[in-house]
Structure 1
């Protein structure tokens, strides 16, 4: 028996590829297996090749696999594009409707199954995905009962007849393949799972849940790939908790509404991708000078301009750190798993309010849309910290004509009130101002206000700003450094190298700005060679390390910017070359 398996379904967008993968994965999740799913799709509503690759294991996973065991093909293009991933002895389940041709020169087995024909016999060709699931379950030796719960959840509202038809489709698919194969194939028999109940979600859902639990009650946003699921989740959930989601006319409106909501004392966020963040840049500066808390999620994708909206990249690092004109304090957090995304979203709100600064939660497409197993989230770990927010307090009588909203303090953080609050009247402007907010160009006041704002992050503390992955060796042949959703693939490569005797450490940077140089420097100093792995063409994280830590002579970049996520074997082979 095997402890992990990789399965992929492919076809044209709009013919049920996503739902096929979803049903297959959810059923295995309910059995207690760990999963990681990644979708390849085009930036169009219908048409164009798409596929969904699901990795199944009895142990925790952090990314997609190098190879493929089973490929379900709804068209010949799926075979042509994806068959090179199939390992020796792999299997293709293809719809007999298009007269499938096996790939030449590969030791794989093709099952031509009348997926569409069986579905049409049952009433509609749309059920071919259920027939394909049944065919897959036959090879894995999964009982049809594994899918009853999921089918009932998905189709129960449509009536028992629809549920029964879909279960019959699964049964017919399994029956056909069992006859062709002679029963489950031994090389695909998974070890039993532990039966534990775990969550299975994309990173965007985790971010949205974190926002909800973290007290967010207002989200203005404009839809954009790959961030839209955050808004889609919250538009359903926020109203249940007294909150509101507004679809704005553009990203400029979204961010300025978010600033307005936060100014009014409500925890507010917006979410977008690179093009949207470009439009928000001026307003981020407004939040900085008015010292208004602001939380923005940037789900990175292929750029520049429209670029590759549905492909993986991590090329917004410099933009998130430097793009605002003038100088303001700003925080950039970069979670690496869905679980981290949940807790880091809560922390983003806490930091934004405690330090009264813009906080950017920097995700990437792989993390945002990759679906992964998540252990049950612990709500007791969630803490709400609002810093010097006085909006719920009774203020003392004013000593002057206005409240010192921008009072110069030792820690750089001023008391914060809400509009209309008794004894809290103050002026708000995007130009330089005095302690009460009145516009001024007085050079002395300018310096005092700038210094005040710039020192407010001097005492910022973020837990695991540099996450040390696995055992840390006092001396290492190589240190692997990364950010975002690629951590799992790197960990797999590292474990393989460690098994070969390479002394190797792994660090994952979760606080991108202000850069946690003091946390990373000991690991850099103790390694003979440092390899920074990232999805961009210019080594943006690499440059941050060289700038803040030094040791440029031992730092190497491993870059990928073709739109596809790193595979463990790619990382392993490249490290071997560099060593």
Structure 2
């Protein structure tokens, strides 16, 4: 019996690799296993190698596994590209159609199973993925009946015969593989799961659901990897609550539409990736100077330009803080788990309205597209706060006077009204203005309005700006990360602690305004600091040094080849820093 293992399926994009992983993982999730999945795919519709690696465990997991137990191969390229992840007890289950061979230095055992032939004999070669699922069941000692509900949900609308044929394909794959395994059939049997029902979702779905729970009724967006799933989710869901989604001609239109909707009193947002955010920068400035609430989701990916659109990177941090021209207040938040993505997405709209400024919700490809087990989410934890939106009747204004939309206040936040409110008329423009919005270039007015806007975030209320696991008053090492690196850091920390190293862990959840006091105390109490991030220039490292100092003891642990961190990579780099 094993507590956890990793399974990967690979082949050419467009031949059912994603659906194979989906069927396999959903069925195991419903048994109560914890899962963490990550897809490697090409930036094209069809063709090119793709794979889906899924970690299965009877205890919670938040990272991709270091090695691989089972590799399901639909072509030789899958073996050639992925075999080095397999350990000596690992298994390759390959379609006999392509006469599979294992490289000489492959440690794993290769089994050839006639995926395509068995499926064709049952009626169609399209069922080869079901044969592969059945063969995987045999290796894991799982009963094939656990897939019945999933298969019925996917194919039930096509009739009972189609469901029966797919289940037969799974059983055939199981039987053929079981016969080949012989006495080795018990080596990868999983510990029993707890049977509890949990969600299984990608971060983008959690972001979209959080936005919906947070009162969003309009989304404007242009499709872009890895953000498109947010729009696709809400296209289905928003109309059910009276909302809508508009696919715009470009990201500039998407951002300005979101600003217009928020100006009109309807909670709205847009979502994109680095290239799209670059186009939005002028509009973000418009939100800042007009003090119109705006939420933008940035799902970071490999750059610059088109770069690596389907690969992991965390290289937008500096741009999200400093990209806009001029000085405006701005909030940049960064969830580290799917659960946080849900609750933070809802909270982003509260912050945008309370502080009347742009809020950038920073994600990355691994967090946005990685599919994982999620504990049940609670709508009771979601609240809607609209800040200084004036909803009561306004007093009548003297002749030729306007509502002071940009009134200079003690906390820097002015009263806000929905256009059309009686006695609430005011000017709105992208140029500097006075308290009523009328354009003004007078130096004293400019000073007052700038001070007012920049004062807003001095007393920002943000729940848990830094997630910490810091049991040591004096640590040998502090490891700092952001977004999806959290799980890999947690595993590396555990291994270092087993080696006798005192390790604290901090994960940045509020990137701007930076939580300098909290981070300073952690840095100051550690002998050395390692900042883990997926970029080439150490952007988070630079931000920390700018805000808290400690330059001599802070070192970067970088990875920028398009792949997420594995736990052993962080462990190895930290050991090097400590030696």
Q: Deviations over 1:180-200 (max 9, x none)?
A: 112662221110000000000
Distance 1:413 1:489 in 2: 40
Q: Contact (CA 8 Å) 2:74, 2:95: kept in 1 or not?
A: yes
With normalisation by structure 1, the TM-score equals 0.99
Distance 1:184 1:101 in 2: 20
Distance 2:392 2:212 in 1: 24
Distance 1:518 1:312 in 2: 30
Q: CA deviation at 1:103?
A: 2.2
What is the CA RMSD across the aligned residues, in angstroms? 0.8
Q: Deviations over 1:453-509 (max 9, x none)?
A: 00000000211101103x521110000001011110010000011011100000000
Q: Which residue of 2 aligns with 1:309?
A: 309
Q: Deviations over 1:151-183 (max 9, x none)?
A: 011111111111001000001100111111126
Q: How does 1:22-421 map to 2 (within 5 A)?
A: 22-182=22-182, 185-390=185-390, 392-399=391-398, 401-421=401-421
Distance 1:184 1:263 in 2: 65
Q: Which residue of 1 aligns with 2:483?
A: 484
Q: Secondary structure at the match of 1:478?
A: strand
Distance 2:84 2:387 in 1: 55
Q: Contact (CA 8 Å) 1:55, 1:65: kept in 2 or not?
A: yes
Distance 2:159 2:349 in 1: 43
Q: Secondary structure at the match of 1:44?
A: coil
With normalisation by structure 2, the TM-score equals 0.99
Q: Secondary structure at the match of 2:112?
A: strand
Q: Contact (CA 8 Å) 1:211, 1:345: kept in 2 or not?
A: yes
2:569 maps to 1:567: no
Q: Deviations over 1:325-370 (max 9, x none)?
A: 0000000000001000000001110100000000000000000000
Name which of structure 1's ranges 410-419 and 180-189 shifts more when overlaid on structure 2. Answer: 180-189
Q: Secondary structure at the match of 2:196?
A: coil
Q: Deviations over 1:5-31 (max 9, x none)?
A: 100000000000000000000000000
Q: Secondary structure at the match of 1:325?
A: coil
Distance 1:7 1:314 in 2: 26
Distance 1:330 1:465 in 2: 15
Q: Which residue of 2 aligns with 1:435?
A: 435
Q: Contact (CA 8 Å) 1:419, 1:425: kept in 2 or not?
A: yes
Q: Secondary structure at the match of 2:81?
A: helix
Q: Structure 2 unaligned runs (5+)?
A: none
Distance 1:295 1:196 in 2: 35
Distance 1:399 1:244 in 2: 39
Q: Contact (CA 8 Å) 1:13, 1:41: kept in 2 or not?
A: yes
Q: Contact (CA 8 Å) 1:140, 1:184: kept in 2 or not?
A: no
Q: CA deviation at 1:123?
A: 1.1
Q: Contact (CA 8 Å) 2:178, 2:185: kept in 1 or not?
A: no
Q: Contact (CA 8 Å) 1:178, 1:184: kept in 2 or not?
A: no
Q: Structure 1 unaligned runs (5+)?
A: none
Name which of structure 1's ranges 346-355 and 99-108 shifts more when overlaid on structure 2. Answer: 99-108
Q: Contact (CA 8 Å) 2:225, 2:309: kept in 1 or not?
A: yes
Distance 1:207 1:97 in 2: 41
Distance 2:237 2:125 in 1: 34
Q: Secondary structure at the match of 1:19?
A: helix
Name which of structure 1's ranges 174-183 and 270-279 shifts more when overlaid on structure 2. Answer: 174-183
Q: CA deviation at 1:315?
A: 0.2
Distance 1:75 1:393 in 2: 66
Q: Contact (CA 8 Å) 1:138, 1:184: kept in 2 or not?
A: no
Distance 2:471 2:553 in 1: 19
Q: Contact (CA 8 Å) 1:141, 1:184: kept in 2 or not?
A: no
Q: Which residue of 2 aligns with 1:547?
A: 546
Q: Which residue of 2 aligns with 1:424?
A: 424
Q: Contact (CA 8 Å) 1:139, 1:177: kept in 2 or not?
A: yes
Q: Which residue of 2 aligns with 1:556?
A: 555
Q: Contact (CA 8 Å) 1:212, 1:238: kept in 2 or not?
A: yes
Q: Secondary structure at the match of 1:363?
A: strand
Distance 1:137 1:260 in 2: 53
Distance 2:171 2:531 in 1: 49
Distance 1:530 1:108 in 2: 38
Q: Deviations over 1:418-453 (max 9, x none)?
A: 111111100000000010000111111111000000
Distance 1:443 1:271 in 2: 37
Q: Contact (CA 8 Å) 1:138, 1:183: kept in 2 or not?
A: no
Q: CA deviation at 1:396?
A: 1.6
Q: Secondary structure at the match of 1:282?
A: helix
Distance 1:394 1:221 in 2: 35
How many residue pairs get aligned? The number is: 577
Q: CA deviation at 1:105?
A: 2.1
Q: Which residue of 2 aligns with 1:522?
A: 521
Q: Deviations over 1:500-534 (max 9, x none)?
A: 11000000000000000011111101000000000
Distance 2:320 2:407 in 1: 28
Q: Deviations over 1:46-67 (max 9, x none)?
A: 0000000000001111110000
Q: Contact (CA 8 Å) 1:334, 1:509: kept in 2 or not?
A: yes
